[in-house]
Amino acid sequence: MRYFFTATLVVASLAGHVYGHRQVAPSSTEGPAGYRRKSLGFGPEHPHAVFHSTPYQVAPSGFTPQDASMDPFEVARIFLDDVLSVKQADSSSYLIRKDSYTDKNTGVTHVYVRQLVNGLEVNDGDININIKDGVVLSYGNSFFNGVPPAPFVNPEISTVRDPRQESCELLSLSLANLQRTSFVDSEQVIMGSAPHSSAAIHELQHMLESNCALFDLGDHMNAEDIADFRPALLKFMATATPNEQLARDIVKDFNSHMDSIRVTPVSHFSPGDHVQVAAFEADSVPDAVSPVKAKLAYIQVPNKAGDNTELHLVWKFEVEMQDNWYEAAVSASAPHKIISVVDWASDYAIAPIPKQPEVTPASYNVFKWGVNDPECGNRTIEKENIDSLASPVGWHALPYANDPSFKGAKPSKEFYRNTSTTWGNNVFAQENWEGQNAYISNYRPEAGKDKAFHFTYNPKKTEKPDAMDEAQSYINATVAQLFYTTNKVHDFFYRYGFDEVSGNFQQFNFGRGGAQNDAVIANAQDGSGFNNANFMTPPDGQNGRMRMYLWNTALPYRDGDLEAGIVIHELAHGLSTRLTGGPANSGCLGWGESGGMGEGWGDFLATTIRSKKTYSDYAMGSWAANRENGIRNYPYSTDESINPSTYKTLDKPGYWGVHAIGEVWAQMLWLVEQKLIEKHGFTEELFPPAPSEDGTVPHGDFYRTDKKGVLVPKHGNSLLVQLVINGMKLQKCRPDFFDARDAIIQADQVLTGGENFCLLWEGFAARGLGEDADVVNKTPWGGGIRTNGYSTPVVCGGTGKKPKHIVA
Ligand SMILES: *[C@@H]1O[C@H](CO)[C@@H](O)[C@H](O)[C@H]1NC(C)=O
Ligand SMILES: *[C@@H]1O[C@H](CO)[C@@H](O)[C@H](O)[C@H]1NC(C)=O
Ligand SMILES: *[C@@H]1O[C@H](CO)[C@@H](O)[C@H](O)[C@H]1NC(C)=O
pLDDT tens-digit series, residues 330-363: 887 766 678 888 877 766 544 443 332 377 899 9
Say which residues have a Cβ less than 8 Å from residue 440's Cβ, sequence separation at least 6: 404, 405, 428
Query: CB–CB of 522/501 below 8 Å?
Result: no
Give the model's pLDDT for residue 248. 84
Do 455 and 551 lie in a common domain? yes
**Is 699 known to sit in a ligand binding site?**
no
- Dihedrals φ, ψ of 331, to 5°? -55, 135
Do 389 and 429 lie in a common domain? yes
Virtual torsion, Cα 143, 145, 147, 152, nearest 10 deg:
0
Look at residue 245 and tell me whether its pLDDT is greater than 50: yes
Looking at the 3D structure of the chain, how many domains does it have?
4
377 CB under 6 A from ligand 2? yes
Average pLDDT value for residue range 459-470: 92
Q: Is 149 a domain residue?
A: no
Local confidence band at 272 (pLDDT 50, 70, 90 cut-offs): very low
361 CB under 6 A from ligand 1? no
Give the model's pLDDT for residue 116. 87
Most confident of 76-90, 693-707, 739-753: 739-753
Look at residue 532 and tell me whether its pLDDT is greater than 50: yes
Closest residue by CA, ligand 2 atom 4: 378
Closest residue by CA, ligand 1 atom 5: 359
CA of 500 to the centre of ligand 1 (A): 24
pLDDT in tens, 9-62: 222 222 222 222 222 333 334 333 334 467 777 777 788 888 998 876 777 666
Look at residue 708 and tell me whether its pLDDT is greater than 70: yes
Look at residue 683 and tell me whether its pLDDT is greater than 90: yes
Do 686 and 726 lie in a common domain? yes
Query: CB–CB of 506/735 below 8 Å?
Result: no
How many Cβ atoms are within 10 Å of 62's Cβ, its own excluded? Answer: 6
Do 651 and 710 lie in a common domain? yes
Length of the chain in terms of residues written: 808
Do 227 and 294 lie in a common domain? yes
pTM of the model: 0.80
Assign 340 to helix, strand or coil: strand
Query: CB–CB of 340/42 below 8 Å?
Result: yes
Within 681-736, where are the H helices? 716-730
Q: Any bridge partners for residue 374, and if so which?
A: none
Give the model's pLDDT for residue 211. 66
359 CB under 6 A from ligand 1? yes
Do 34 and 78 lie in a common domain? no
Which region among 129-133, 211-215, 485-489, 759-763 has the lowest average model confidence (pLDDT)? Answer: 211-215
222 CB under 6 A from ligand 2? no
Give the model's pLDDT for residue 170. 57
Q: Is 99 a domain residue?
A: yes
User: Domain range spanning residue 166?
Assistant: 7-45+155-343
Closest residue by CA, ligand 1 atom 13: 417
Mutate to test the pocket of ligand 1, among 416, 420, 449, 451 (most ligand atoms within 8 A of CB): 416
Query: CB–CB of 588/729 below 8 Å?
Result: no
Which region among 81-90, 171-180, 405-414, 462-471 has the lowest average model confidence (pLDDT)? Answer: 171-180
Give the model's pLDDT for residue 142. 92
Question: For ligand 3, what atom is nearest to the CA of residue 473?
Answer: 13
Q: Which of 97, 114, 141 is the last residue of a domain?
A: 141
Q: Which residue has the higher pLDDT, 227 or 700?
A: 700
Average pLDDT across the chain, whole number: 82
Q: For residues 240 and 247, give the distance between their C-alpha atoms in angstroms, rounded to a whole number.
A: 8
Q: Is 610 a domain residue?
A: no
| Short-list 348, 701, 406, CA closest to 546 | 348
Per cent of the chain over pLDDT 70 is 80
Query: Is residue 570 among the annotated active site residues?
Result: yes
Give the model's pLDDT for residue 507. 95
Q: For residues 128 and 51, give the distance between their C-alpha atoms in angstroms, rounded to a whole number.
A: 9
Do 423 and 542 lie in a common domain? yes
Give the model's pLDDT for residue 545. 95
Look at residue 255 and tell me whether its pLDDT is greater than 90: no
Within 681-797, where are the H helices? 716-730, 737-752, 757-765
CA of 491 to the centre of ligand 1 (A): 22
Do 458 and 536 lie in a common domain? yes
Look at residue 641 and tell me whether its pLDDT is greater than 50: yes
Which ligand is nearest to the Cα of residue 447, counting in written order? 3
Give the model's pLDDT for residue 212. 67
Do 101 and 171 lie in a common domain? no
CA of 469 to the centre of ligand 2 (A): 25
Q: Is 771 a domain residue?
A: yes
Average pLDDT value for residue range 686-708: 88
Q: What is the CATH number of the domain that holds 136?
A: 3.10.450
Look at residue 755 and tell me whether its pLDDT is greater than 80: yes
Query: CB–CB of 583/575 below 8 Å?
Result: no
Q: For residues 460 and 448, give the distance between their C-alpha atoms in angstroms, rounded to a whole number.
A: 27
Closest residue by CA, ligand 1 atom 1: 418
Give the model's pLDDT for residue 657. 80
Q: For residues 427 and 486, give the distance between their C-alpha atoms in angstroms, rounded to a whole number.
A: 7
**Is 307 known to sit in a ligand binding site?**
no
Q: For residues 637 and 639, give the distance between their C-alpha atoms in angstroms, rounded to a whole number.
A: 5
Mutate to test the pocket of ligand 3, among 423, 442, 455, 479 (most ligand atoms within 8 A of CB): 455
358 CB under 6 A from ligand 1? yes
Q: For residues 338 and 237, give the distance between their C-alpha atoms in angstroms, rounded to a whole number.
A: 11
Give the model's pLDDT for residue 732. 96
Which amino acid makes up residue 34?
A: G
Distance from chain centroid for Cα 404: 23
**Is 573 known to sit in a ligand binding site?**
yes
CA of 374 to the centre of ligand 2 (A): 10
Question: For ligand 1, what atom is nearest to the CA of residue 414?
Answer: 13
450 CB under 6 A from ligand 1? no
Closest residue by CA, ligand 3 atom 4: 446
Q: Is 588 a domain residue?
A: no
Give the model's pLDDT for residue 296. 84
CA of 376 to the centre of ligand 2 (A): 9
Q: Is 255 a domain residue?
A: yes
Closest residue by CA, ligand 2 atom 6: 378
Q: Which of 535, 552, 583 is the last residue of a domain?
A: 583
Query: CB–CB of 300/125 below 8 Å?
Result: yes
Most confident of 1-15, 402-416, 721-735: 721-735
CA of 195 to the centre of ligand 2 (A): 53
pLDDT in tens, 273-308: 334 455 788 999 999 988 999 988 899 988 887 778
Question: For ligand 3, what atom is nearest to the CA of residue 446?
Answer: 5
Q: Which of 141, 163, 192 is the last residue of a domain?
A: 141
- Active-site annotation holder among 327, 563, 570, 771: 570
Give the model's pLDDT for residue 361. 93
Q: For residues 654 and 670, give the distance between their C-alpha atoms in angstroms, rounded to a whole number.
A: 22
| Apex 314 CA angle, 308 and 317, nearest 5 | 125
| Short-list 469, 461, 486, CA closest to 366 | 486
473 CB under 6 A from ligand 3? yes
Q: For residues 115 and 109, give the distance between their C-alpha atoms in angstroms, rounded to a whole number.
A: 19
Q: What is the CATH number of the domain that holds 702?
A: 1.10.390.10
Look at residue 618 and tell me whether its pLDDT is greater than 80: yes
Q: Is 801 a domain residue?
A: no
Query: CB–CB of 519/543 below 8 Å?
Result: yes
Q: For residues 63 and 463, give the distance between their C-alpha atoms in angstroms, rounded to a whole number.
A: 70
Q: Is 1 a domain residue?
A: no
Q: What is the CATH number of the domain that holds 463?
A: 3.10.170.10
- Distances in Å between the Cα of 739 and the Cα atoms of 51, 690, 729, 742, 775 are 6, 34, 12, 5, 13
74 CB under 6 A from ligand 1? no
Look at residue 454 and tell me whether its pLDDT is greater than 90: yes
Sign of the Cα pseudo-torsion (604, 610, 613, 619, in order): negative
Q: For residues 60 and 63, give the distance between their C-alpha atoms in angstroms, rounded to a whole number.
A: 7
Average pLDDT value for residue range 222-251: 76
Q: For residues 233 and 293, give the distance between their C-alpha atoms in angstroms, rounded to a whole number.
A: 10
pLDDT in tens, 394-447: 999 998 889 999 988 777 777 889 999 999 999 999 999 999 999 999 999 999
Do 38 and 76 lie in a common domain? no
Which region among 91-100, 273-282, 612-621 has the lowest average model confidence (pLDDT)? Answer: 273-282
Query: CB–CB of 569/348 below 8 Å?
Result: yes
Give the model's pLDDT for residue 350. 44
Do 329 and 238 lie in a common domain? yes
Look at residue 268 and tell me whether its pLDDT is greater than 70: no
| Apex 345 CA angle, 343 and 346, nearest 5 | 105
CA of 439 to the centre of ligand 3 (A): 19
Q: What is the DSSP string of 532-601?
A: -EEEE-PSTTS-EEEEE-EETTSSSPEEGGG-HHHHHHHHHHHHHHHHTT-TT---SS-SHHHHHHHHHH
Closest residue by CA, ligand 2 atom 7: 378
Do 120 and 41 lie in a common domain? no
